[in-house]
Amino acid sequence: MNRFVPLLIVVFLVVLFAAMMGGDRNPQELKSVLIGKEAPAFDLESVIEGQEGLSNTALATGDPIIVNFFASWCVPCRAEHENLMKLAETYKVPVYGIAYKDKVTASRAFLEELGNPYVQTGADLSGIVGIDFGVTGVPETFVIDGDGVIRYRHWGPVIGTAVEDKILPELEKAR
């Protein structure tokens, strides 16, 4: 057996670890397999009374948009809400909301309390649309391009400077 083999294995591992520790990779985060694919088909009732519901066909608007999964029972959703408002109001990005496994009345109260950043909403009562999107929990945020193709998934809440650092550049890329 060559006496250098163990050393070479260790060098390889050190390089591997160093490479994987760089950047802001989060090992808890599962990458979406839907990137580059069209958003899955769905058709949901709106959370807001009298408003039109949300379906996948409405997502292909010709411009990049945001789809955000949220729920009134989810604490991190509250934390990112301010940023969603900013996206919609300051940056004029169309944000679509899907309420994940949430009572319609509760989602509505949530939006009345904190403000409604969404152009349109859909109530995913059973969570089946969430499953189709591969959502592992709420909140999760998707960037969808003008053709209705998913370009980026943000895992967890969009907090801090994530709007400027992540979401806006991804929207730009999707243009």
Partner 1 sequence: MIAEIGHFAVILALIASLIGATFPHVGIARNDDRLMILGGRMAYVQFVCMIVAFGALMYSYVISDFSVLNVATNSHSAKPLLYKIAGTWGNHEGSLLLWALMLSLFAAAVALRGKRLPLRFQSRAIAVQNLLGFGFLLFIVATSNPFERLDPVAIEGNGLNPLLQDPGLIFHPPMLYLGYVGLSAAFSFAVAALIEGEVSPAWARWVRPWTLAAWVLLTGGIALGSWWAYYELGWGGWWFWDPVENASFMPWLAATALLHSAIVVEKRDALKSWTILLAIIAFSLSLLGTFIVRSGVVVSVHAFASDPTRGIFILGFLAFVIGGSLALYAWRAPSLVPGGLFGMVSRESALVLNNILLSTFAGVVLVGTLYPLVLEAFDGSQISVGPPFFEFAAAVLMSPLVIALGFGPLLAWKRGNLSRAARILLPAFLAAVLGGIALTLSAGTGVVMTAFGFALALYLAVSVLLEIAGRIQLFKAPGKAFGRLRSLPRASWGMAFAHFGLAIVILGMTVSEAFTDETLTVLRPGEGAEVGDYVFTLKSVEGTTGPNYTAVRGTLDVTENGRLITVLTPEDRVYTNPVTNTTEASITPLFSGDLYAVIGESAGGGAWSMRLYFKPMISGLWVGSIMMMLGGLLSLSDRRLRIGSPEGRKKHASVKTAGGDQATKQPSSDTAAASAKVETPA
Residue 60 CB burial class (10 angstroms; 0-12, 13-18, ≥19):
middle
User: Which of 19, 109, 128, 131: binder of partner 1 (CB under 8 A)?
Assistant: 19
Write each residue from 22 to 61 as x if it is in contact with partner 1 (CB under 8 A), else as -, in one continuous string: -----xx-xx------------------------------
Shortest CB 54 distance to partner 1, Å? 29
User: Which of 13, 41, 109, 128: binder of partner 1 (CB under 8 A)?
Assistant: 13
CB 81, CB 75: distance < 8 Å: no
- Residue 75 binding partner 1, by CB under 8 A: no
Q: Scanning the structure block, which residue is given the tokens 């509505």?
A: 108
Please identify, using beta-carbon distances, which residue of 11 and 41 lies nearer to partner 1: 11
- Residue 3 binding partner 1, by CB under 8 A: yes
Query: Would the CA dihedral through 146, 151, 156, 157 be positive or negative?
Result: negative
Query: Would the CA dihedral through 33, 36, 41, 42 be positive or negative?
Result: positive
Shortest CB 9 distance to partner 1, Å? 9
- Residue 18 binding partner 1, by CB under 8 A: yes
AA letter at 123: A
Please identify, using beta-carbon distances, which residue of 28 and 90 lies nearer to partner 1: 28
Q: Scanning the structure block, which residue is given the tokens 């053709």?
A: 147
Q: Which of residues 124-163 bind partner 1 (CB under 8 A)?
A: none
Residue 146 CB burial class (10 angstroms; 0-12, 13-18, ≥19):
middle
Please identify, using beta-carbon distances, which residue of 26 and 161 lies nearer to partner 1: 26
Q: How many CB atoms lie within 10 A of CB 50?
A: 5
CB 37, CB 147: distance < 8 Å: no
Shortest CB 14 distance to partner 1, Å? 5
Chain residues in the site for partner 1 (CB under 8 A): 3-4, 6-7, 10-11, 13-14, 16-21, 27-28, 30-31
